[in-house]
Chains A and B, each alone.
Chain A
Amino acid sequence: MMAYIVRRTLYAIPILIGVNLLTFLLFFVVNSPDDMARMHLGAKRVTVEAIQQWKAERGYDRPLVINTSAEGMRRFTDTIFFDKSLRLFAFDFGQSDSGRNIGHDISQRMWPSLAIAVPVMLVGLLVNITFSLLLAFFRGTYLDFWGVVLCVTMMSISGLFYIIGGQVLLGKLLNLFPISGYDVGAHAWKFLVLPVIIGVVSSIGSGSRWYRTLFLEEINKDFVRSARAKGLSEQRVLLGHVLRNALIPILTGVVVVLPTLFMGSLLLESFFGVPGLGSYTIDAIERQDFAIVRAMVFLGAVLYILGLLMTDISYTIADPRVRLE
Chain B
Amino acid sequence: MMPFQPVMLATDALIFLLLGLSGGFAWYARRHAHLRAPWRRVARSRTAMGALVVIALYVTIGLLDTLHFRAASGTDEQGNTRYAGEILSVLDLIATPLREQSEKTYSAPFATHLYARETIELPQGGQVRDFPRLQWGGAHLADPLADRAGDILLRTLLGIGIGLFAWLLLLALLLRRSAQGWRQWWSDEESGPQRSAAWVGLLMLILVGLSLTLAGAYHVLGTDKVGEDVYYQSLKSIRTGLVIGTLTTLVMLPAAILLGIMAGYFRGWVDDLIQYLYTTLSSVPGVLLIAAAVLMMQIYMSNNQESFNSLTERADMRLLFLCLILGVTSWTSLCRLLRGETLKLRQLEYVQAAQAFGVGHFTTLMRHILPNVMHIVLIVVVLDFSGLVLAEAVLSYINIGVDPNTNSWGNMINSARLELARDPLVWWSLLAAFLFMFVLVLAANLFADVVRDAFDPRLRERS
Residues of A in contact with B (beta carbons under 8 Å apart):
14-15, 18-19, 22-23, 26-27, 30-31, 35-36, 38-39, 152-153, 155-161, 164, 167-168, 172, 216-217, 220, 260, 263, 266-267, 270, 281-282, 285-286, 288, 290, 293-294, 296-297, 300-301, 304-305, 308
Kindly supply a per-residue 1/0 record for chain B positions 374-415, scoring 1 wherever the CB is within 8 Å of any chain A CB and 0 otherwise.
000000000000100010011001111000000000000100
How far, in whole Å, are A217 and B461 apart by their CA atoms in the complex?
Answer: 11
Would you give 5 A-B contacts (Cβ < 8 Å), ordered by A?
A31-B300, A38-B302, A270-B398, A281-B291, A301-B283
Which chain B residue lies CB-closest to A266? B287
In this assembly, does B417 line the interface, its C-beta being within 8 Å of a C-beta of chain A? yes
CA–CA, A124 to B438, complex, Å?
A: 23
| Interfacial residues, chain B to chain A (CB-CB below 8 A) | 276, 279-281, 283-285, 287-289, 291-293, 295-296, 298-300, 302-303, 386, 390, 393-394, 397-400, 413, 417, 420, 425, 427, 430, 434, 437-438, 441-442, 445-446, 449, 462
- What separation, in Å, do the CA atoms of A220 and B292 have in the docked complex? 46
Asked if B462 contacts A300 (CB within 8 A), the reply is no
Chain A residues contacting B397 (CB-CB under 8 Å) are: 160, 267
Q: When the two chains form their complex, are residues B420 and A167 in contact, meaning their CB atoms are under 8 A apart?
A: yes
Alpha-carbon distance A274/B380, docked complex (angstroms)? 36
> When the two chains form their complex, are residues B430 and A297 in contact, meaning their CB atoms are under 8 A apart?
no
Asked if residues B285 and A260 are in contact (CB atoms below 8 Å), the reply is yes
**Choice from A217, A290, A296 contacting B288 with Cβ under 8 Å:** A296
Q: Is the CB of B399 within 8 A of A286?
A: yes
Please name the residue on chain B nearest to A40 by beta carbon. Answer: B299
Report A39 CB to chain B, min CB distance, Å. Answer: 5
Query: Can you name the residue of chain A whose Cβ is closest to the Cβ of B397?
Result: A160
Let me know if B276 and A152 touch, CB within 8 A: no
Asked whether, in the complex, the Cβ of A39 is within 8 Å of the Cβ of B283, the reply is: no
Name B413's closest neighbour in chain A (CB-CB).
A160
Q: Are B299 and A161 in contact (CB under 8 A)?
A: no
Residue of A nearest to B286 (CB): A300
Residue of A27, A164, A293 most packed against chain B (CB within 10 A): A164
* Contacts A156-B442, A168-B425; A293 near B292 (Cβ below 8 A): yes
Pick the residue among A23, A27, A35, A281 that contacts B300 (CB under 8 A). A35
Residues of A within 8 A of B441 (CB): 156-158
Question: Which residues does chain B contribute within 8 Å of A266, judged by CB atoms?
Answer: 287, 398
Distance to closest chain A CB from B263 (angstroms): 16
Which residues of the other chain, B, contact A26 by a CB distance below 8 angstroms? 292-293, 296
**B-chain residues with CB within 8 Å of residue A288 when the two chains form the complex:** 295, 298
Query: When the two chains form their complex, are residues A27 and B288 in contact, meaning their CB atoms are under 8 A apart?
Result: no
Q: Which residues of the partner chain B approach A31 to less than 8 Å between Cβ atoms?
A: 296, 299-300, 303
Tell me which residues across on chain A come within 8 A of B302, comparing CB atoms: 38-39
Cβ contact within 8 Å between A158 and B393: yes
Name the B residues within 8 Å of A167 (CB-CB): 420
Contact between B394 and A39 (Cβ–Cβ < 8 Å)?
Answer: no
Inter-chain contacts of B399 with A (CB < 8 A): 285-286
Partner of B394, one of A263, A267, A297: A267
CA distance A35 to B446 in the complex (A): 46
B427: chain A residues at CB < 8 Å are 168
A30 touches B296 (CB 8 A): yes
> A156-B442, A160-B434 are known contacts; what are 11 more A-B pairs with Cβ within 8 Å?
A15-B276, A26-B293, A38-B302, A156-B445, A158-B441, A161-B438, A164-B417, A172-B420, A172-B425, A285-B400, A293-B288
Q: Tell me the bound Cα distance from A288 to B298 in angstroms.
A: 10
Residue in B302, B397, B425, B427 whose Cβ sees the most chain A Cβ within 10 Å:
B397
Of all chain B residues, the one with the shortest Cβ separation from A302 is: B283
A153 CB, min distance to chain B CBs, angstroms: 6
In the complex formed, the residue of B with least CB distance to A17 is B280
What CA separation (Å) do A27 and B413 show in the bound complex?
A: 30
Please tell me which one of the listed residues A18, A152, A293, A305 contacts residue B446 in the complex, with CB atoms under 8 A apart: A152
| Closest A-B pairs by Cβ, 6 of them | A18-B280, A300-B285, A156-B442, A156-B441, A301-B283, A31-B299
- A14, A156, A263, A285: which has the most chain B beta carbons within 10 Å? A156
Are B284 and A39 within 8 A (Cβ)? Answer: no
A207 to chain B, nearest CB (A): 15
Nearest-Cβ distance from residue B130 to partner chain A, whole angstroms = 27
Contact pick for B276, options A18, A168, A297, A301, CB 8 Å: A18
Chain A residues contacting B430 (CB-CB under 8 Å) are 164
CA distance A27 to B295 in the complex (A): 9
Q: Is the CB of A263 within 8 A of B438?
A: no
Residues of B within 8 A of A216 (CB): 462
**Which A residues are CB-close (under 8 A) to B287?**
266
Q: Chain A contacts of B288 at CB under 8 A?
A: 281, 293, 296-297, 300
Residues in B whose Cβ lies below 8 Å from that of A30: 296, 300
A30 vs chain B, min Cβ distance (A) = 5
B239 to chain A, nearest CB (A): 18
CA distance A116 to B427 in the complex (A): 27
B462/A217 in contact, CB under 8 A: yes
Known A15-B279, A22-B280, A155-B445; judge A160-B398 contact (CB<8 A).
no
